[in-house]
Amino acid sequence: MEQAGRILIIDRKSRVRQETAAVLRGLDFQVEEVDSGDQARMALKNSAYQLILAEVSLLPGGGVEFLLGQDAILSSTAVVLMASATSVDDVAAVMRAGASDFIQRPYGLDELCLRLEKSLKVRFYEHELTYLRGERDIIYRFENFIGESSAIKEVFALLSKVSNSNASILISGETGTGKELVAGAIHYSSPRAAKGFIKVNCAALHDNLLESELFGHEKGAYTGASRQRIGRFEQADRGTLFLDEIGDMSLGTQAKLLRVLQEKEFERLGGDKTIKVDARIISASNKDLAKIIQDGDFREDLFYRINVINVHIPPLRERREDIPLLAVSFIRKFAADLKKNTTTLHPDAAGFLKQHHWPGNVRELQNCIERAVLMSDGSEIVKEDLLFMRSLIKDGGDGEVAPVFEIPPQGLKLDDMERALIIETLEICNWVQKDAADMLGISKRVMNYKVKQLGLANARWLKNK
């Protein structure tokens, strides 16, 4: 534990309490002392503690209720109980309710300090583990960022220069170009790698919620804030804070963020304690921030703060030579996941993939390959596996999705297309005509007519022969 915490001692015995407090202060802890349940309640309302050292009978509402009930404190607080030999039964119940440890009276101060340090450590690592669990499926490494085009080589050259510094980086690029992958790789190859890579999606939350996500809040800071919350900035201390989709942040939140970046300190919402942080900032946006600044929706001063170094990841269609490379790497990955032995990409299929516009960039390519591997029977992905490749893109911004088909260079017949589409949909729906009709937005009667007209009535039966 690098950082001494804030401790609340709840104990009636003033001499022991004062002695204990003095020793802990000597160890750099910030200590507050109270001698009654009511005072404890007040203290807990006003501040947050990393550790509470308490006489069981003085915990507000009783120990078990305190830990389980509405007075329960946040998961990052350790509770250590002081108990006399006669109250061991009570202690067992309170321990089961989630207390960290107990120490029997009379105790030596050395033993107490050891116990407290251990409890703080355990809580700290439990807290870290919760965040790491969220990260474990994604492996952010530069080796996993595939590309040999000159455009990508330039990006790599820049990244190798800046990863070790503390400079703020803004990653720009269309959706699916790999901004998050790059942000993670920068963090994990930097001297901050052992600390957290903490992500915040600024588009997902607005104003108050985003601010509480970033800066945390004290219990009771606003209606509904029933527990204290440690914000992402605090979690990112000595690590990296990744502000994704920063172009969507409101002007009010931008102002608060700017202050934190300038002063490297802040207060939790509803709190008055100033918290110092040392977090490296990496931001990303698929919007053109210069344009948002012109429209008056993004602060220019904040832009300069976060954009000390700009890393632009070009869209896939501007580095088409990377497409086969990426495709083969995804084929191997999905073949392994799906336990298939598909390993290669036929040159015709590679050529076909290189022609596509890829509005969804690498993510779209990845999805397309996943599907092709799933459908393929051979050891190689051939053009036919990709013929029905289509991407779902948003049209006009009204939220509707429209299918877009890749038309092969030699063209295709509408009748064949309709037939293939109907068969494929029926396959997906296990040949339940009503479900397939729903999927294609036609009535069951029309579907039934088409099945007969296309001679598919016995197709399932034939297929299963």
Ligand X SMILES: Nc1ncnc2c1ncn2[C@@H]1O[C@H](COP(=O)(O)OP(=O)(O)OP(=O)(O)O)[C@@H](O)[C@H]1O
Looking at 366, 376, 391, 433, which residue binds ligand X (CB under 6 A)?
A: 366
CA–chain centroid gap for 281, Å, is: 15
Residue 210 contacts ligand X per CB under 6 A = no
Q: Which residue has the tokens 């800066």?
A: 215
**Count of other CB atoms within 10 angstroms of residue 224:** 9
* DSSP state, residue 219: T
Beta carbons of 216 and 127 less than 8 angstroms apart: no
Six token digits for residue 404: 């877009």
3-state secondary structure 245-312: CHHHCCHHHHHHHHHHHHHCEEECECCCCEEECCCEEEEEECCCHHHHHHCCCCCHHHHHHHCCEEEE
Of the pair 71, 244, the CB lying nearest Mg ion is at 244
Q: Is 175 in the site for ligand X (CB under 6 A)?
A: yes
Indicate the residue type of 328. Answer: V
Indicate the Cα dihedral angle 317, 318, 324, 325, nearest 10°: -130
| 26-34, 61-69, 172-180, 267-275 -> range binding ligand X (CB under 6 A) | 172-180
Angle (CA) 285-290-291 rounded to 5° is: 95
**Is residue 248 involved in binding ligand X (CB under 6 A)?**
no
Residue 145's binding partner out of ligand X, Mg ion, none, with CB under 5 to 8 Å set by partner kind: ligand X
Which residue among 52, 59, 181, 386 contacts ligand X (CB under 6 A)? Answer: 181
Element (H, E) at 151: helix 150-162
| Segment interacting with Mg ion (CB under 5 A) among 76-84, 172-180, 194-202, 203-211 | 172-180
Question: Among residues 143 and 416, whose Cβ is nearest to ligand X?
Answer: 143
Name the residue type at position 239. G
The nearest distance, CB 225 to Mg ion, in angstroms, is 29
- The full length of the chain comes to 465
CB of 385 to ligand X, least distance (A): 20
**Site for ligand X contains 216 (CB under 6 A):** no
Which CB atom, from 233 or from 242, has the smaller least distance to ligand X? 242
| Cα–Cα distances in angstroms (integers) from residue 188 to residues 29, 179, 185, 386, 457, in the given order | 31, 14, 5, 35, 57
Phi, psi of 198 (to 5 degrees): -105, 125
Residue 95 touches which of ligand X, Mg ion, none (Cβ within 5-8 Å per kind): none
Pick from 23, 68, 113, 146: which binds ligand X (CB under 6 A)? 146
Peptide linkage before 409 cis (omega within 30 of 0): no
**Spatial distance between the Cα atoms of 248 and 266, rounded to a whole number of angstroms:** 22
Q: Which two tokens stand for residue 43?
A: 């203290």
Q: Considering CB under 6 A, how many residues would be counted as binding ligand X? A: 17
- From residue 279 to residue 298, what is the string marking binding to ligand X with x (rule CB under 6 A)? -------x------------
Letters for 301-340 (x = contact with ligand X by CB under 6 A, - = none) are: -------------------------x--------------
Closer CB to ligand X, 286 or 433, in the complex: 286
Nearest distance from C-beta of residue 257 to Mg ion, angstroms = 19
Does position 174 interact with Mg ion (CB under 5 A)? The reply is no
Of 47 and 201, which CB lies nearer to Mg ion in the complex structure? 201
Residues 381-410 that bind ligand X (CB under 6 A): none
Number of residue whose CB is nearest Mg ion: 180
Q: CB under 5 to 8 A by kind: which of ligand X, Mg ion, none does 285 bind?
A: none
The minimum distance between CB 104 and Mg ion, in angstroms, equals 52
Among the listed residues 176, 196, 231, 271, the single contact to ligand X using CB under 6 A: 176
Residues 456, 461, 464: CA angle, nearest 5 degrees:
125
- Asked if residue 112 lies in contact with residue 20, where contact means CB atoms within 8 angstroms, the answer is yes
Could you give the C-alpha distances from 126 to 97, 120, 194, in angstroms and in order? 16, 10, 16
Q: Minimum CB separation from Mg ion for residue 375, in Å?
A: 28
The residues in 75-114 that bind ligand X, with binding defined as CB under 6 A, are none
Amino acid at 311: V
Residue closer to ligand X, measured from CB, 179 or 268: 179
Binding segment for Mg ion among 38-46, 86-94, 175-183, 423-431 (CB under 5 A)?
Answer: 175-183
The type of residue at 119 is S
Q: How far is the CB of 32 from ligand X (least distance, A)?
A: 44
180 makes contact with Mg ion (CB under 5 A): yes
Distance (Å, whole) CA 449 – CA 444: 9
Tell me the three state secondary structure of residue 403.
strand
CB of 244 to Mg ion, least distance (A): 5
Residue 5 or 173: which CB sits closer to ligand X? 173
Cα separation, 150 vs 167, whole angstroms: 25
Cα–Cα distance measured from residue 224 to residue 83, given in angstroms and rounded to the nearest whole number = 34
Residue 173's binding partner out of Mg ion, ligand X, none, with CB under 5 to 8 Å set by partner kind: ligand X
- What stretches of 246-297 adopt beta strand conformation (E)? 265-267, 274-276, 280-285
Whose Cβ is closer to ligand X: residue 179's or residue 187's?
179
Site for ligand X, rule CB under 6 A: 144-147, 173, 175-181, 286, 326, 362-363, 366
Site for Mg ion, rule CB under 5 A: 180
